Amino acid sequence: MSFYVVKFGGSSVATTSRIKKASEIVSRIISNGNKVVIVTSAMQGVTNQLIDFAKIFHDSPINREYDAIISSGEQVAAGLFALCLSSVGIKSKSMLGWQIPIKTSNSFSQAIIKSINAKKVLDAVFEKDITPVIAGFQGISDRDEITTIGRGGSDATACALAYALNADECFIYTDVDGIYTADPRIVLNSKRIEKISYNEMLELASCGARVLQSRSVLIAKQCNVKLRVLSSFSETGETIVTSETVYIPKVKKIAGIAHNMSSCMIKIFGEANQIQIFEMLYDNNIKLDLISVSENLISFLIQKPYLGDLKLILENEKITFDVDNDIGVVSIVGDGVKTDQSIFKKILSIINTKRIKLKSISFSDISISLIIPFQQTELLVNEIHHAFFE
């Protein structure tokens, strides 16, 4: 007998018929003599709808009520999934974050999981023969407030549960059959990656690859959670996220290409105290990416949904800033990116040949991130993929 945490994304539970399909996957796993704990996202589109409702009453409503509202989508999905399993003879019940409890930090919208009461879930599985369906994305703070753990946070819920419950493996079911060398929606010749290291997957997720939430990969890496990405709609393949580094020889040590078209660039000018600015932004739960600091300029990327909050903070502090909405970010990720200079030279050649306007560039130990005009993003992703993977 094996014990699995099985997470279903929003596309996998988007309709009642898809919930039935997902329950068939669970039934097969259980019929093979295994035990399962399920984690669900909200039904596809529901969270965005709830956010839109909240914005009717507040332009930037990231607070207590915001989390109470947007966490309700997972409650509906978990309840429907449990009903579906019960209808086919599998004893099941839904469990919400506060009922377990999944304890989190006090930050709304971007809370961090601090602890999970594993005993309550394990007793349900092994003592009462119940298959729990746990609402992902949500928890409860030390102040007994409902919190959410960031978009895509159900992945983090699943990985944290897999660790807390000492599960044999964590399955992430989504609408694609694994991780690809680039987004298959814009690169038709993208290739499924059979195995990828935690470090490379973490970098891809942080740079915009949307199959896994970056925090979930970090939990998997830190806690050595065995992670497998599969499709709810086919049995054609999967990707295993592992501590190993696996390369396709021809690719010259590149794992994949990620892109981000949902950020804007902020530039803060003048001689303001930079440390105080960063402290102020982090105290207000503003998540920053690709930070660059010079003597009289701070520049960074921020996700567009958080721009309203950021503007209010900076304007209240009378800080001079500029917003550039016309950006896309293309990131080339792999453990060999830093050591193989030919990779960077080839990228620069592509940028020059295709007349891509390079606004900024950022390096990490395993990635190169290029900030370019929004309209040129998909072109550059395709050209780089063609150069290294085709």
* Cα–Cα distance measured from residue 250 to residue 231, given in angstroms and rounded to the nearest whole number: 27
- Please, are residues 239 and 197 in contact by the beta-carbon 8 Å criterion? no
* Cα–Cα distance measured from residue 360 to residue 348, given in angstroms and rounded to the nearest whole number: 13
Cα torsion 41, 42, 45, 51 to 10°: value is -110
Whether residue 251 is predicted with pLDDT greater than 60 in this model: the reply is no
Query: What local confidence, expressed as pLDDT, does residue 60 receive?
Result: 65
Query: What local confidence, expressed as pLDDT, does residue 294 receive?
Result: 76
List the single range of 111-120, 308-317, 377-386 with lowest mean pLDDT: 308-317
Whether 319 is covered by a domain: the verdict is no
Whether 125 is covered by a domain: the verdict is yes
Mean pLDDT taken over the chain: 90
Locate tokens 């966490």: which residue?
71
Whether 202 is covered by a domain: the verdict is no
Whether 332 is covered by a domain: the verdict is no
Query: What local confidence, expressed as pLDDT, does residue 168 receive?
Result: 96
| pLDDT one-digit tens code per residue, 232-248 | 998 888 999 988 765 55
Read off the pTM.
Answer: 0.87
Burial class, 167, CB count within 10 angstroms (exposed 0-12 / middle 13-18 / buried 19+): buried
Locate tokens 């804007």: which residue?
264
Average pLDDT value for residue range 278-290: 77
Query: What local confidence, expressed as pLDDT, does residue 317 receive?
Result: 82
Whether residue 213 is predicted with pLDDT greater than 70 in this model: the reply is yes
Whether 168 is covered by a domain: the verdict is yes
Query: What local confidence, expressed as pLDDT, does residue 272 receive?
Result: 60
Average pLDDT value for residue range 300-315: 85
Query: What local confidence, expressed as pLDDT, does residue 245 receive?
Result: 61
Task: Give me the sheet containing 360-364, strands edge to edge.
Answer: 256-260, 328-333, 367-372, 360-364
Whether 280 is covered by a domain: the verdict is no
Whether 254 is covered by a domain: the verdict is no
List the single range of 14-18, 190-194, 302-306, 368-372 with lowest mean pLDDT: 302-306
Determine what percent of the chain is predicted with pLDDT higher than 90: 65
Determine what percent of the chain is predicted with pLDDT higher than 70: 95
Maximum average pLDDT range among 15-29, 183-197, 200-214: 15-29
Of the candidates 148, 140, 170, the one whose C-alpha atom is nearest the C-alpha of residue 73 is 148
Whether residue 63 is predicted with pLDDT greater than 90 in this model: the reply is no
Whether residue 166 is predicted with pLDDT greater than 90 in this model: the reply is yes
Residues 296, 298, 302: CA angle, nearest 5 degrees: 160
Whether 160 is covered by a domain: the verdict is yes
Long-range (24+ apart) CB contacts under 8 A made by 298-301 are 298/267, 298/268, 298/274, 299/265, 299/266, 299/267, 299/268, 299/360, 300/265, 300/266, 301/260, 301/263, 301/264, 301/265, 301/266, 301/327, 301/329, 301/371
Query: What local confidence, expressed as pLDDT, does residue 238 receive?
Result: 93
Whether residue 66 is predicted with pLDDT greater than 70 in this model: the reply is yes
Query: What local confidence, expressed as pLDDT, does residue 252 receive?
Result: 57
- Please, are residues 218 and 202 in contact by the beta-carbon 8 Å criterion? yes
Total structural domains within the chain: 1
Of the candidates 103, 385, 65, 72, the one whose C-alpha atom is nearest the C-alpha of residue 250 is 385
Average pLDDT value for residue range 359-375: 91
Who's near 200: CB < 8 A, 6+ residues apart? 245, 255, 256, 333, 334, 335, 366
If you count them, how many residues does the chain have? 390
How far lies 55's CA from each of 17, 52, 76, 249, in Å? Answer: 30, 5, 21, 49
Whether residue 311 is predicted with pLDDT greater than 60 in this model: the reply is yes
Radius of gyration of the chain (CA): 22
| pLDDT one-digit tens code per residue, 332-354 | 998 878 778 888 999 999 999 99
Whether residue 270 is predicted with pLDDT greater than 80 in this model: the reply is no
Residue 106 lies in domain: 3-175
Locate tokens 């085709």: which residue?
390
- CATH assignment of the domain containing 164: 3.40.1160.10
By DSSP bridging, strand 102-104 and strand 113-116 are antiparallel
Query: What local confidence, expressed as pLDDT, does residue 164 receive?
Result: 97
Burial class, 122, CB count within 10 angstroms (exposed 0-12 / middle 13-18 / buried 19+): middle
Of the candidates 134, 103, 132, the one whose C-alpha atom is nearest the C-alpha of residue 116 is 103
Token code pair at residue 1: 């007998």
Query: What local confidence, expressed as pLDDT, does residue 58 receive?
Result: 77
* Cα–Cα distance measured from residue 180 to residue 257, given in angstroms and rounded to the nearest whole number: 9
Burial class, 133, CB count within 10 angstroms (exposed 0-12 / middle 13-18 / buried 19+): buried
Which one is predicted more confidently, 317 or 322? 322
